[in-house]
Structures are given as structure tokens and as C-alpha cells.
Structure 1
Amino acid sequence: MRLLFSCLFLVSFFNSFAQEVKPEIKPIVKIDSLYREDQFYFSVTYNLLLNGPTGLKQNKFSAGVSAGFLRDMPINKDRTIAIAAGFGLSYQNFYQNFTVSKSADGTNVYNVSSYSDIGSNRYKQYSVDVPIEFRWRNSTYESYKFWRIYSGVKMSYIFSDKSILKDGDASYKVSNNKDINQFQYGVYVSAGYNTWNVYCYYGLNGLFDKSVKTVSGENVQMSAMNIGLIFYIL
């Protein structure tokens, strides 16, 4: 009987010891080394009008916002260089003294007015955007925080626009102006670290058709420039 108890004790001791020294099996975490920086983006900008007719001035804060998605396509082994294409929507707002009114026969009249002669004047537009960009970043598959420089071209289609003028005696609203260049294109660059990045867009074609002139006969060749911040969200 004493021998039986001794055997049971030894079996129990070795079983407990074996359980204590049993190595822990950790789950295998797979890291995707073939990552892509597909991203949603959101930008907030201050809008400028360049190459405007004589006397053009802007007042208040002309703001713009845009949002969309970019598909990333790496072209080198380290995946630090890529091409991206996307789709987005933009809203642009301009406060300035370039006025659009109506003549007696209903045609558009363009002029640069003094702020003392107008109560308020603004132009706003909504567009569909297609950006195509060349990308450099020092990213790795282990980190989502990195430095970047993205540059490219953006093509836009203005699907809605409106000019609103209040000159004290009358008010004018011109929607979907036939003299607006609905197809816009320009170049842009964004640079920064992680989520926060500076952004600049420069329009390469005029906002209005080349045939548009002010009442003084000056050609209207205004183009847009947007400066601000762009945020990238994975």
C-alpha cells in the first residue's frame, strides 16, 4: 500500500511539472508586406482668383472643401513609390467684386465693381473631381505614420454653379452659367507627415470662356488657386 501511494505521488508530481513547463503557443500574426496606401481624403482650402481683370479684389474668407477616395498602385519593390487615381467631390466659394448681372434682353453682363456700389457678391460651384497623382513616401508595412510628397493633375467637371449679386437696388442670381468652363484641370501637390499635409492646387485653364469680356472690353481670364490642408485617412 505504501508503494502504491508513492507511485501515485510521483505520477502526480511529474504531471504537474510537465504542465508548468509546457511552452505557450502564441497565435501567428500575418503581416501584409504587399500593402497599398488606399486612402480617403478630405481637404479644406482658401480659394484665390488669379489673372483677374483690372480692379479685381477678394474680400471675406473664400473657402473650399473636397473629399474623395484614392486607389494606390505601388510601382517599386519597397512600395515607397506609387501611382494613384481617384474620385471625389468639391465645393468652392469665392467672395469678390467680379459681378454677373443681367441686361434688359436677358444676356449676362460682366463687370468689376467697387465695393461701395455692391452689398455682397459671391460665386460658388460644385464639381466632380478625378485626381491622378505620382506618390513618394517612406512608409513600411509595419507603420501607418510616414512622410509623403504627392503631386499630380486633377480634372474636374462643374455640374452646378451660381453667382449671387446684391447691389442695394436689385439682386441677381445666375445659375449654371453657360459662360463657365465646366471642364477644369490643373496641377497640385501635397506634402506632410501622417494625417496632416499642406496642399496647393493651381488651375491651368480659365474659369470663364475666352469670349467673356467685362463692360470695358477686357478679357476675363481668371483661374483658380486653392491653398490649405488635406487629410488622408486609411
Structure 2
Amino acid sequence: MRYFYLLFLFSFNVNFSQADFVDDKYLEDQIYFGLNYNTLTNTPLNFKQNKFSNSLNFGFIRDMPLNKRRNFGLGLGLGLSFSSVNSNMVFSQNDELFTVNLVENNSFLKNKLNTTKIEIPFEIRWRTSTPTSYKFWRTYIGIKTSYVLRSNYKYQNSNYKYSIHNLPLNKFQTGLTVSAGNNTWNLNLYLGFDSMFKNDFVRLNPDYEDLRELNLGLIFYIL
């Protein structure tokens, strides 16, 4: 009986010590998942979007605290994004030449531009986190560099349909990112710095010289 009592006390002390343990080297917000509404800025006159244009992105960001409280630091990551834009921009291709025209929204059944990108986010991170709290405010500001892995365009009207692969998009694109919120819910903004299209395309279609991406939505962090 005495041995049982000693064993009970030992187990209690171990459990109490584990419950009392505080990790002062904690890291936060290293896996992200985002869902955004996509639009474009600096668009030509009569440009219109239709249906819902969206993007989904996810990845890993290495959290690098810079102070003892670990509530201020940097983040550098790697992720993947899938994006679509539904609009009245109709693309056509003749050999290696691409052109675009704006049409009425009711003249087609499908008109969608899709892209898949590798993204490298870099963030300056501030938050109210502590080693024992999982609910805190955060504001992350940074720059995201993306590389276009693939792009495709699909068009369909009542008479015919076609698709175009590898549109003349700039392969490397950068932009400003801002994420802010509390606990689970965080607003996310991305504003592109670079023109979407290559110079050769812009020379033939000058109205699209400064077309840029603008995404607004929600981002979720775990771990």
C-alpha cells in the first residue's frame, strides 16, 4: 500500500510538472491557408468581371522571432496558389501572337483565365501572442514573389469552344501583402506591383500595359 501511495505521488508530480511546462521558444503561424476574391486594377475602359473570381493558396512560413517575447519577427515561406479570373477579356492566338478583345458578358458561356503559381512570402510579423495563449491579435506586412508554373484560358459560347495554354504572362510577379486579425479570422490583402503581361503582348495590346492583380479575402494560420 505504501508503494502504491508513493507511485501515485510520483505520477501526480510528473503530470503537474508537464501541465506547468511553458515553452519560451514557441513558434506561431507556420502553416497558412487562404481564400480570396480576385480582381484586376488599371483595367481598360469597358472591362467587366463576371461570376466569382477566386484564388486558393496554402504553404509553410518559417517563423523567426527577433525579441525575447517572440511577438515580433520575420517570416519566410514557400507555398502554392491556384487562381482564376472570369471576365469579358477574350484571348486569341495566331502562331506565337496573342491578342485580346473586350466583349459583352452575355455573348459567351465560359471565359476564364486560370493560373498556378509557386509563391515565396516574406513577412514582418507583429502579434500579441504569449507562450500560453493561442488567441491573439496579429498584423503581418510583407512582399510576396510568385512564379507562374502554368496558365490556361478557356472560352465557350453557344457555337464553339477553345482553350489556350501558356499565356504571355510575366513569369515572376511581386506584390504587397497585408494580413491582420484575431485568432482564427484574419483579413488578407495582396496588391501586385508588376504588370501581368509580357512586353511583347503589351506592344500589341497597349491598353493592358499596367494590368495588375488585387486579391482580398481570408487567411488562416495554424501551428
TM-score (norm 1): 0.84
1:158 alignment counterpart: 148
Unmatched runs of 5 consecutive residues or more in structure 1: 1-14
Tell me if 1:224 matches 2:188. Answer: no
2:53 counterpart letter in structure 1: S
Change (3 A) 1:100 1:138: same
1:212 alignment counterpart: 201
Residue identity over aligned pairs, in percent, reads 37
- State the alpha-carbon separation in 1 of the partners of residues 7 and 116 from structure 2: 65
- State the alpha-carbon separation in 2 of the partners of residues 217 and 133 from structure 1: 34
1:80 alignment counterpart: 71
Higher gyration radius (CA): 1
Out of 220-229 and 153-162, give the one that drifted further: 220-229
Tell me how far 1:120 sits from its aligned partner.
2.2
From 186, 206, 210, the counterpart of 1:197:
186
1:227 counterpart letter in structure 2: L
Query: Residues 99 and 205 of structure 2 are in contact (CA less than 8 Å); yes or no, is this contact kept in structure 1?
Result: no
Count of residue correspondences: 216
Change (3 A) 1:170 1:108: farther
From 58, 61, 80, the counterpart of 2:52:
61
1:141 counterpart letter in structure 2: P
TM-score (norm 2): 0.88
Change (3 A) 1:111 1:215: farther
From 18, 34, 41, the counterpart of 2:25:
34
Query: Residues 210 and 219 of structure 1 are in contact (CA less than 8 Å); yes or no, is this contact kept in structure 2?
Result: no
Change (3 A) 1:101 1:81: same
**Secondary structure class of the residue paired with 1:218:** helix
2:102 alignment counterpart: 112
Query: Residues 29 and 221 of structure 2 are in contact (CA less than 8 Å); yes or no, is this contact kept in structure 1?
Result: no
Q: Between Structure 1 and Structure 2, which shows a larger proportion of helix residues?
A: 2
Change (3 A) 1:97 1:215: farther
Q: Report runs of 4+ in structure 1 exceeding 4 Å deviation.
A: 19-23, 213-217
